[in-house]
């Protein structure tokens, strides 16, 4: 038996992380104290949903909760680009830096200001790291071409392709590449050849795809994950519920 590998997975979930992600991190660290081993953060930055990065902060003087998010370059990028391909606009960062003192302590404003404005996934990950949340934790990213090449073949997946000048995440279904516009509406893209470096999993195939590379022994899962994870895809993994935490959807700012 090798040493334990404790894994938790999450999309970038706000420029300051949601409290449920913080709960996953502290659960993984507590488990590591008990059994040893290493911790892996599976960062699913191939997801494209712009709602994932909504950041809910309380205004410091009134206590009002405000939902903040990145400003996206255009509609195609907002709706269909994976999080690693959604560009961070420098003007958005400058404007948000001016607003943040109303919500967070000065040291977090400084961390936010210091992040290079590249893409949404990098921005979130780098800010989590500057907050000290990822110290000693290895990150594996679903957008990484090398990770994708090593991952198991799956028959239910998304494909990253170019469309209207942007990288978009299209669902491969019945021999078609589809962008979901909501409800039963789809945009069908021209079919093109694709390989493993363009593929990321659906929710139903994510666990098997991830586990084929990470090989974890323990997986820290949120309540929502346990409802859709097919645990039969990882029969040798022990699934550990994340710690309970108040206001899980709000941003964690060190409180």
By C-alpha distance, which of 117, 110, 170, 137 is closest to 26?
137
Residue 240 and residue 161: Cα distance in Å, rounded? 36
Whole-model pTM?
0.95
Cβ-count burial 68-105 (b if 16+ within 10 Å, e if not): bbbebeeebbbbbbbbbbbbbeeebbeebeeebeebbe
pLDDT tens figures, 84-106: 999 999 999 999 999 999 999 99
Residue 69 and residue 94: Cα distance in Å, rounded? 14
Q: How confident is the model at residue 219 (pLDDT cuts 50, 70, 90)?
A: very high
**223 or 133, greater pLDDT:** 133
Q: How confident is the model at residue 1 (pLDDT cuts 50, 70, 90)?
A: low
pLDDT tens figures, 72-82: 999 999 999 99
Phi, psi of 203 (to 5 degrees): -60, -40
Beta bridge partners of 42: 9, 140
Question: Do 31 and 218 touch, CB atoms closer than 8 A?
Answer: yes
Distances (CA, A) of 236 to 1, 239, 255: 12, 10, 36
Task: Name the average pLDDT for the chain.
Answer: 96
pLDDT for the residue numbered 211: 96
Distances (CA, A) of 204 to 120, 155, 244: 24, 11, 25
């Amino acid at each position: 038996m090798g040493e334990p590998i404790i894994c938790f997975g999450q999309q970038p979930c706000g420029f300051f992380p949601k409290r449920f992600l913080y709960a996953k991190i502290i659960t993984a660290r507590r488990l590591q104290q008990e059994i040893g081993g290493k911790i892996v953060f599976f960062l699913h930055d191939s997801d494209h949903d712009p709602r994932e990065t909504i950041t809910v902060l309380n205004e410091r003087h009134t206590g009002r909760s405000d939902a903040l998010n990145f400003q996206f370059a255009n509609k195609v990028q907002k709706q269909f680009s994976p999080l690693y391909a959604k560009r961070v606009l420098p003007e958005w960062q400058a404007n948000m830096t001016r607003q943040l003192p109303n919500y967070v302590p000065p040291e977090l404003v400084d961390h936010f200001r210091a992040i290079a404005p590249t893409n949404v996934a990098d921005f979130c990950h780098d800010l989590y790291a500057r907050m000290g949340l990822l110290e000693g934790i290895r990150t594996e990213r679903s957008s990484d071409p090398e990770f994708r090449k090593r991952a198991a073949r799956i028959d239910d997946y998304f494909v990253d392709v170019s469309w209207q000048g942007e990288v978009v995440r299209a669902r491969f279904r019945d021999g078609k590449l589809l962008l979901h516009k909501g409800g039963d509406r789809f945009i069908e893209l021209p079919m093109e050849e694709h390989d493993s470096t363009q593929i990321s999993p659906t929710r139903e195939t994510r666990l098997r795809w991830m586990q084929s590379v990470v090989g974890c022994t323990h997986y820290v899962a949120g309540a929502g994950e346990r409802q859709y994870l097919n645990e039969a895809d990882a029969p040798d993994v022990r699934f550990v519920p994340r710690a309970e935490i108040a206001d899980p959807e709000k941003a964690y700012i060190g409180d």
